Structure 1
Amino acid sequence: MSFKSLGLSDALIKAVEEKGYTTPSPIQQKAIPHILEGKDILASAQTGTGKTAGFTLPVLQYLTATKHPKYRPLRVLILTPTRELAAQVHENVREYSKYVDIRSTVVFGGVKAASQIKTLRQGVDILVATPGRLLDLHDQKAVSFKRVDVLILDEADRMLDMGFARDLNKIISFMPTKRQNLMFSATFSNDIKKLASGILHNPVEVETAPQNSTAKKVSHKVYNVDKNQKTPLIIKLIKDNNWEQVLVFTRTKHGANKLTEKLIKSGISAAAIHGNKSQGARTKALKNFKDNSIKILVATDIAARGLDIPLLPHVINFELPNVPEDYVHRIGRTGRAGAEGEAISLVCSEETEYQKEIEKILNEKLKTSVLEGFEPTDTAPPKRAATQSKGSFGKKKKGGSSDSANQNKPKRKPHFKGNKPAGATSGRGRTGAPKKKRY
């Protein structure tokens, strides 16, 4: 199958081919025809499989075919959970739209709003945004949702995990009920299905990989090690193997800072990225990591989704996530688009339960070994809280402060009631997000 056979225009195909793609990925093959037909979509796809192009390309085709010659109201809204993902999605939108007359922009917090407001008031067709900043701009009357034809929720499950349900509900209440809705999520959890039932109308379900699966070309390895020996071990692994580009995950912001300082003191170039860093610092750290100015990027789970680093060879879990699904998202940063990758986890005695939960959702045992000179002696019991989190929204995650792009917003436990769509049909699909709905 080719992009041409999917019904895409020559201008879009030219832009896609310039990025090096000639054959649609499975998620693109399955989603694009339905989106072009105006159907609502509930899609789940393994990270790194091209889902951004899967919704961007057909939306661009729709906009170019129906664009008003004079007016340019906001017609497509793409919501993402994190700033990094928003920036990445917008970059893709710009690349795919280079040969069509479509304007787009991105808005998120952490930077001054003045320039964002100026751009919005000049008129854009597509807006990529994080929910918090978007609501702030709407309150300032800098953006209107009255003409939105297509709503896209990217990484919807992560938005629920981060407590954005109420913000999503408020944004949707300002939109016309007649619109097309596309929801992309890593999982089809019960919470996602509840959210979908209040937004999507007769959606086509698209799934291209088993839930919670990782790329086939990613090798998994676990080193058992005492907690206080993790830093010396990771320094040894990086230096002995001469690794040039490694993404390292910690559970907390303090842990990310502390590890980064120790790596730098040992002569390894490194930077940290997490929610307490300014947006400028986060952008600079990511840029330096991508262009190999630094070898190691230490991140909290703010970076588990949305970071597209071509051919990233190594991901290290300095600490296992206490929500097993997050392991899949962390590891999804390597082995993207069919490339090979290596995922290494440093596991102390307190984290053995986390490892078992990860193995359960992966349905495979992780290869576990001990490195000479780092034989573990600690026998501390697993540090698993009595109430275990499964990553659902409204359930508090235990065992460390996970990061989020919504730092100043409390996580609320939303509820669903009567959220079945009540919208009317239209040529571009329908919604049913009743304005008074709360979830």
Structure 2
Amino acid sequence: MSLDKLKLSKPLVTAMTDAGFLTAKEIQAKTMSRILGGQDVIAVGPEGAGKTTTYVLATLMKLKYAFEEAPRALILVPDAEHVDHVLEQFKLLNRNSTFRILGIDSRGVVETQMNEITDGCDIIVAVPDRARALYLKLALNTNKIQLFIVDNAELIVKKGLQLPVVELANSAYKSQHLVFTEVLHEKLNHMISPFMKDSAATIEVDEISEQQAEVYQQMLYQVPNFRTKLNLLTLLLDDKEVFDKVLVFVNTRLTAQTVYKNFNNKTESEVSIYRPLFFDDFGFDNIDDFKEDPEARVLIVANENLGDLDIHGIPFILHLELPEQKEILIQRIIKHGDDDVVSITFSTDIELIEVKKIEQAIGQRMEIMELPEDLKIVDVAPKPKKKKVEDDEDTERGAAFHEKKASNLKNYNYSAGTKAKMTYKKKKGLS
């Protein structure tokens, strides 16, 4: 799409062209008119979709003139690296330094930053906790904020910075709110719901790269926490007929030991650890020994200092945790020869960021699987004490009971193991 369609000022179009941006990104085309029209917007798109450029352009268009006493745009980002990136984008498009833009993060001295703000600035790019500290010291005046922007919101949630974001947003109650994120999930919604207007538009750009390599069948289970992951893992692997030879990948050797101990009813050699941390845990130092042992069914492998591992010939690859480097997982799921393999990934809301990056890299979406009805969902949040109520139907059902959403209602049900078995049989040509 042409840049003219964004209805930018001529200086901004010139700045974009000079910077090498000759066409508008999809996310810019879908959000710019709404932002310039004053609507609250939640923009969801992958890395590289043009989210930062979108709100930089919108900020420069919305503010129109510079040199006010108090800042009129506050942009919150997760860390100092992102502060630098956003400042570079402003430098690229803020021709002739029309606006005074200030970066605030933990690398600066608080007193110096207080003086810089009070000297006057138009736009502040800051990490949430430092911005909140300056607000509490009365250095950051939010009364004239017109644009309150949260970028990389999913990383802000991952870092646990929700509280300062909400407090600052509520202080800038007259402003327009813009949220940019790679993924949208329950924890993120919980952060932004106190300040986003009911009329806010959610715009999602689902760009995905062309498939770079052929990969195995991909399945994804989304669960709330690690304890529920363990419950799901044991529930799936109870089906010994389907899951007859399985690799379970975790990130550390301590986690591998935790997962191993979670299999309470295992036989002596059924579940094992690759190069176990403790001598009394059953394990293998050579993966070929695991492959050849007919009694060995599940091998738990830690990514920690792992190196190369020949996993060919094993039909099920389970990632209980996502490795820090997506390339590690991608290398395991690239198809080799005629191997018939099912790859299953377990993800919490926080880990969905990494899932999206993997999907972008392989050019393929993971198939989201429905959680088994008999899965025990662990609630890690403390529960308020409740008075005992007799003859109450909800009490008899138990605290773990939840009404099914309408979108999940259906007239059939396959267990997770059956789904995996059906997929595996189909790939083997047995059905």
**Which among 153, 160, 164 is matched to residue 163 of structure 1?**
160
Q: How far apart are residue 181 of structure 1 and its match?
A: 0.9
Asked whether the 8 Å contact 1:15–1:99 carries over to 2, the reply is: no
Aligned to 1:134: 131
Q: 1:60 to 1:334 in 2, by over 3 A?
A: farther
Q: How far apart are residue 19 of structure 1 and its match?
A: 2.4
> Which protein shows a greater Rg?
2
Q: How far apart are residue 76 of structure 1 and its match?
A: 0.4
Aligned to 2:86: 89
Residues 37-436 of structure 1 aligned to structure 2 (within 5 Å): 37-63=37-63, 65-67=64-66, 71-99=68-96, 101-175=98-172, 177-201=173-197, 202-209=199-206, 214-217=208-211, 219=213, 315-317=327-329, 323=347, 329-330=353-354, 359-361=366-368
| Separation in 1, partners of 2:369, 2:118 | 47
| Separation in 2, partners of 1:38, 1:5 | 18
| Separation in 2, partners of 1:141, 1:181 | 22
Q: 1:53 to 1:66 in 2, by over 3 A?
A: same
Q: 1:329 to 1:195 in 2, by over 3 A?
A: closer
| Separation in 1, partners of 2:186, 2:9 | 37
Q: 1:168 to 1:99 in 2, by over 3 A?
A: same
| Separation in 1, partners of 2:153, 2:96 | 30
Q: 1:33 to 1:217 in 2, by over 3 A?
A: farther
Name the SS for the 2:82 alignment partner: helix
Asked whether the 8 Å contact 2:359–2:366 carries over to 1, the reply is: no
Aligned to 2:220: none
Name the SS for the 1:182 alignment partner: strand
| Separation in 2, partners of 1:165, 1:155 | 12
Asked whether the 8 Å contact 1:104–1:126 carries over to 2, the reply is: yes
TM-score normalized by the length of structure 1: 0.52
Name the SS for the 1:183 alignment partner: strand
RMSD: 4.3
| Separation in 1, partners of 2:176, 2:214 | 40
- What runs of 5+ residues in structure 1 fail to find an aligned partner? 230-250, 263-299, 305-313, 344-357, 364-384, 396-439
| Separation in 2, partners of 1:394, 1:92 | 40
| Separation in 1, partners of 2:116, 2:62 | 23
| Separation in 1, partners of 2:214, 2:26 | 24
Q: How far apart are residue 325 of structure 1 and its match?
A: 5.9
Aligned to 2:338: none
Residues 164-207 of structure 1 show CA distances to partners (whole Å, capped at 9, x for unaligned) of 222222212322x2221111222332444444442222112211
Name the SS for the 1:199 alignment partner: coil
| Separation in 2, partners of 1:321, 1:124 | 46
**One-letter identity of the residue aligned with 2:201:** V
| Separation in 2, partners of 1:334, 1:88 | 23
Q: Does 1:6 align with 2:30?
A: no
| Separation in 2, partners of 1:165, 1:361 | 27
Q: How far apart are residue 330 of structure 1 and its match?
A: 4.1
Name the SS for the 1:198 alignment partner: coil
TM-score normalized by the length of structure 2: 0.53
**One-letter identity of the residue aligned with 1:81:** P
Q: 1:360 to 1:74 in 2, by over 3 A?
A: same
Aligned to 2:294: none
Q: 1:323 to 1:333 in 2, by over 3 A?
A: closer
Higher relative contact order, structure no. (Cα contacts within 8 Å, ≥ 6 residues apart):
1
Residues 72-108 of structure 1 show CA distances to partners (whole Å, capped at 9, x for unaligned) of 4210011122332232122212212134511112112
| Separation in 1, partners of 2:10, 2:359 | 30
Q: How far apart are residue 324 of structure 1 and its match?
A: 5.6
**One-letter identity of the residue aligned with 1:215:** S
**One-letter identity of the residue aligned with 1:329:** I
Q: 1:60 to 1:18 in 2, by over 3 A?
A: same
Asked whether the 8 Å contact 1:218–1:334 carries over to 2, the reply is: no
Q: 1:144 to 1:228 in 2, by over 3 A?
A: farther
Asked whether the 8 Å contact 1:315–1:331 carries over to 2, the reply is: no
Q: How far apart are residue 125 of structure 1 and its match?
A: 1.0
| Separation in 2, partners of 1:227, 1:214 | 35
Residues 300-341 of structure 1 show CA distances to partners (whole Å, capped at 9, x for unaligned) of 96xx9xxxxxxxxx94459999636666634767998xxxx6
**One-letter identity of the residue aligned with 1:152:** I
Q: 1:185 to 1:107 in 2, by over 3 A?
A: same
Q: 1:30 to 1:119 in 2, by over 3 A?
A: same
Name the SS for the 2:38 alignment partner: coil
Aligned to 1:15: 15
| Separation in 2, partners of 1:51, 1:129 | 17
Name the SS for the 1:163 alignment partner: coil
Asked whether the 8 Å contact 1:218–1:335 carries over to 2, the reply is: no
Q: Which deviates more from structure 2 when the two are superposed, residues 182-191 or residues 77-86?
A: 182-191
Q: 1:189 to 1:324 in 2, by over 3 A?
A: closer
**One-letter identity of the residue aligned with 1:103:** R
Residues 328-358 of structure 1 show CA distances to partners (whole Å, capped at 9, x for unaligned) of 634767998xxxx679xxxxxxxxxxxxxx9
